[in-house]
Chains A and B, each alone.
Chain A
Amino acid sequence: MTPFAAAPDPSAAGQLALGVVLAAAGFVLLLPKPRGRSVAGGTAALLVAAVVLGLWSHRSFGDPGADWVEKGLFILFSTGAVGFGAVLVAQRNPARGAIAFAFVVLSTCGLFLLLAAPFLMAATVIIYAGAIIVTFLFVLMLSQAAGPSDENDRTREPLLGSLAGFAFAGLVLFALQHNHAGAAPLPAATLTADEKAKLADVAARLEPLAADDFYRPDVPKQGRVAQLNAIEQEVGPTLEKVVGDSPGRLEGYAAAGSIRERLGAYRTDTQARTVLARAAAVRDAAYPALRAVETAVTEPGRGDPEGAKAGIRRLRDEVRLLSGSGELPARNVGNLGLVVYADYLLAVELAGTLLLVATVGAVAIAHRRPATA
């Protein structure tokens, strides 16, 4: 059995293998050593490998996106991260390596921004900026290399090390390619873009129902009742469609593909199930909320405008959450804090303890003992 027999597209797998081998060869040439180092050859091999792998990525996973700005930024940051990473590894001078690592971190932060993680971007910049400055100080303090030195001008097992590292990366990429072939983007399929737009529209139209004006007795009832009915006409069928289809959608997932894929679908489907359950809840809550509003409008004596308004607000929030499902919330820091301190409280405490212990340990280790010891 050849390894490529497992791949859905043998020629793409071959392309991947070519890129990985080229990259490994480039590093073998580029790594500092007393004899046989070729900067030009290594750089060329790495550039070719980058092009080959980029083409492979485009071929296997498609175009990064329709948005040119996003695409350009992604390409900029990812080539930046990978390229400066290569510089860090191949650079003889550790001080320059530290600068290259700073650029790696900045590129990573750019990718974090593209991934809607601004807080992580900020935290990484802050923490690594400090770490890199400290590292830089260490380099200046400890390695005043006047000439070639063992640690900077030699490498340990360049061939085996490069092969191991890129065999690892290549296998991961191969597994990605393989999995991409049969995978479906899960949460996106639960609600289509059209449905999401409709739900957002509904949320906007529910807004006036929560206002005080809507319940003023001096406004004619007919207009308001008509408005109410229109909303109901809109909300009901949309939700009915989402929820009513849902068993079919889930079945559709599960029925397609091999046992393994079905298992995968089942495992990763928790989010889809949550969305559907939420949609069902909204559908069930919509009718009584709207009825309460109708009662409050048509029979001012019997109805309870305050209760109706509260019900409408709850419904509106639920619809908004539903329409935004599959997207990250806008308030990144607040929601991240909520997740960290609600779901990962123990882990936070442990991480804090770990930091404390590490601080004590670092002080204890670096402490200069008296000469008698």
Chain B
Amino acid sequence: MSEPLGLAPAVLGLLLGATVVTALMAGAPRLRRFAHLPLVLACAASAGLAIWIVIQLSAGTPAYRSVPVTWFAAGNFAASAAITIDPLAAVMLATVTFVATWIAVFSAGYMRDEHGVPERGYARYFAVMGLFVFSMCGLVLADNFFLLVAFWEGVGVCSYLLVGYYYAKPSAAAAARKAFLVTRLGDTGFLLGIFLLWKLGGYHTDLTVLFEHIRTHPPDTGSLTTACLLIFCGAVGKSAQFPLYVWLPDAMEGPTPVSALIHAATMVTAGVYLVARCAPVFALVPDAQAVVAWAGGITALLAAVIALTQTDLKRVLAYSTVSQLGYMFLALGAMGAVSPVFAVTAAIFHLFTHAFFKALLFLGAGSVMHAMGGVIDTRRFGGLRRIMPVTHLTFLCGAAALAALPPTSGFWSKDLILEALRDGAETTHPYAGGLQALLLIGLVTAGLTAFYTFRAYFLTFWGQTRVPEEAGHHAHESPPVMTVPLLVLAVGALAAGAVAGPLTHSFDHFLERTPSLQQAATAVPGAKAPAHAFDWGLAGLSTLLAAGGVGLAAVLYAKGRPEKVPPGLEPVVALSRNKLYVDEVYEAALVKPLTGAAVAAGMFDRFLDSFGRLLASAPRLLGHLARPVQNGLVQFYALGMAAGVVVLLSFVAFRIAR
């Protein structure tokens, strides 16, 4: 069973098994202290298996598909339980399990107080986290739209459970509900898109078969565009893109490692993966690509602007995630202008490096929060570099990667995206002009990213040493169980990009063997293939912007002075601080009218109810007449039974006997 097809179910089985074991451990008080062990071991083992799968795929057959087993069928609709393993899935699998392993290790330290006593719900946390990683791995491996939806919803449920981990806290409960409902909004579109695609694709639900059918029997572009846009709705919800990004910043109400998990590996990347997985369809419709690209571009800029003035460290990181996801969609949107292989490689490569440095940053923020007694507002502490040297250094690595300073991994992946945009803008593609504008947005966002990242960094670690009173007298560096994951991820954040990207080109060589990407590439003939040459001009420009942002942040914040708003910029800052009033706009435009509609519907419902009650009164009257029969005496019931048997028997004796 060392075939990839045997290993992939083993990954799923390990994670599910860990979940079950942890859930059982929750029932044994003595074992609860060790509830992290099953998950850590299972994640480590599955990360090993995933890397082994990657090695096997890079050496041998590029793709495997399991024999589909019919899951359920009705009419000409049949959903099968099938998994597929190709380089795209393998890369995702390896990233998810590797990052999740270190987050699980970190959680084992984070979810305890300073005496090492686990929090309440320790086992629940690890059980749900296991289910979360399991669902994400299943989502990555699924080769059937309905299986994918099942795992997709599993991810949603687990995020709900984890964001609402402190369910007694009203804000956490509200954030969990918001995360669930907002993603549901996108999922509605996603399901409709699947049904439309099912109809267009010859009533197949298996991804491979469906894409093949669409290639051989191309449907009309209009309906295909609709299907793609509907599917993109799901991606927008899950990956927190404009306009459905509002849930992600609130989702930091959960424990910080959960944010790391959601932002880095397991949840928000699902949308990016979905679009990458559906590349053969998206490559056919330029209109949908333009929507993807613009949604990504707008989100990237918008989130970066909001992040500029946030004072909550985790909130800054959350908006940076939204912004970086926008980058990934930018790259995916260039799918038709450059080769889909190139575009998807750029997006997935950024996803890969982003997983490392975003997990690192969140875990670093978690380490800070752990030491500060739960305080995360950058206005209330500062100068922590002397207290927490390891956290400081690793956070610096992550911040550099997020700001895309060379030679960190973020630099290489962001550069690849910008390169894809630049190449796309130079073609004769109908939306080439748009790509030009998007490239500009990308460059501006790069500068903003560097600024706000280092603003948060300087506010936290530089200046006068200040510690909030919640931290008490024990503001200190975190224990090794938390710093070791930070160190490992810091190495990844620094080196993973260079090793996988420009030094060896192993990432793009590996990914371009994916059959679905090859198929997408044939749909866009003459598109530009990825150039392995390094573009000094673009890289230099983006480096310059990033360095400018860092420099500005250093000038303004490195001394630890309180923030001053430059004159003339007050409205802009207020706009940014209030998150561009998006929540307020939603409240006025969506929530209020919907509440009114709900009240009206309630009144109508009461009217219908009274009508129904009128109808129901007739049987109630009949029931009143028959009621005394039910007198509670067992022997009376037995008498009724005997009388019934007598009637039946007389029928038998007098009618049938004739």
Residues of A near any B CB (own CB < 8 A): 1, 3, 6, 156-157, 160-161, 164-165, 167-168, 171-172, 174-175, 178-179
**A156, A167, A171: most-surrounded residue (chain B CB, <10 A):** A171
Instruction: Report 13 cross-chain contacts, Cβ distance below 8 Å, ordered by A residue.
Output: A3-B650, A6-B654, A6-B657, A156-B633, A156-B636, A160-B639, A161-B635, A164-B642, A165-B642, A168-B642, A171-B652, A171-B653, A175-B652
Pairwise interchain contact B635-A156, C-beta atoms closer than 8 A: yes
- Output the least CB separation between B31 and chain A (Å): 29
- Output the least CB separation between A214 and chain B (Å): 59
Pairwise interchain contact A178-B653, C-beta atoms closer than 8 A: yes
A324 CA to B649 CA in the complex, in Å?
Answer: 37
**B636, B645, B652, B657: most-surrounded residue (chain A CB, <10 A):** B657
**A156, A165, A172: most-surrounded residue (chain B CB, <10 A):** A156
Q: Which B residues are in CB contact (< 8 Å) with A161?
A: 635, 639, 642
Pairwise interchain contact A164-B636, C-beta atoms closer than 8 A: no
Classify the interface of chain A: helix, strand, loop or mixed.
helix
- Output the least CB separation between A145 and chain B (Å): 20
A164 CA to B637 CA in the complex, in Å?
Answer: 13
Pairwise interchain contact A171-B636, C-beta atoms closer than 8 A: no
- Output the least CB separation between A41 and chain B (Å): 24
B473 is an interface residue with CB less than 8 A from chain A: no
B544 is an interface residue with CB less than 8 A from chain A: no
A371 CA to B531 CA in the complex, in Å?
Answer: 83
Given known A-B contacts A156-B636, A157-B636, A175 and B642 have beta carbons under 8 A apart: no
- Output the least CB separation between A136 and chain B (Å): 23
Excluding A6-B654, A175-B649, 13 further A-B contacts by CB distance (< 8 Å) are A1-B654, A3-B650, A3-B654, A6-B657, A6-B658, A156-B635, A156-B639, A157-B635, A168-B642, A168-B645, A171-B650, A174-B653, A179-B657
Pairwise interchain contact A157-B657, C-beta atoms closer than 8 A: no
- Output the least CB separation between A14 and chain B (Å): 15
The contact of B646 among A1, A156, A167, by CB within 8 Å, is A167
Nearest opposing residue in chain A for B640, CB measure = A164
Classify the interface of chain B: helix, strand, loop or mixed.
helix
Q: Which A residues are in CB contact (< 8 Å) with B574?
A: none
* Per-position binary interface string of chain B over residues 628-647, scored 1 when its CB falls under 8 Å from any chain A CB and 0 otherwise: 00000101100100110110
Given known A-B contacts A156-B633, A156-B636, A157-B636, A164 and B653 have beta carbons under 8 A apart: no
- Output the least CB separation between B152 and chain A (Å): 44
Pairwise interchain contact A164-B650, C-beta atoms closer than 8 A: no
Pairwise interchain contact B639-A172, C-beta atoms closer than 8 A: no
Nearest opposing residue in chain B for A260, CB measure = B656
A165 CA to B654 CA in the complex, in Å?
Answer: 18
- Output the least CB separation between A267 and chain B (Å): 15
Pairwise interchain contact B639-A168, C-beta atoms closer than 8 A: no
Q: Which B residues are in CB contact (< 8 Å) with A171?
A: 646, 649-650, 652-653
Given known A-B contacts A168-B645, A168-B646, A6 and B639 have beta carbons under 8 A apart: no
A168 CA to B644 CA in the complex, in Å?
Answer: 10
Pairwise interchain contact B639-A157, C-beta atoms closer than 8 A: yes
Pairwise interchain contact B657-A168, C-beta atoms closer than 8 A: no
Pairwise interchain contact A6-B646, C-beta atoms closer than 8 A: no
Nearest opposing residue in chain B for A175, CB measure = B653
A333 CA to B87 CA in the complex, in Å?
Answer: 72
A160 CA to B646 CA in the complex, in Å?
Answer: 12
Q: Which A residues are in CB contact (< 8 Å) with B649?
A: 168, 171-172, 175
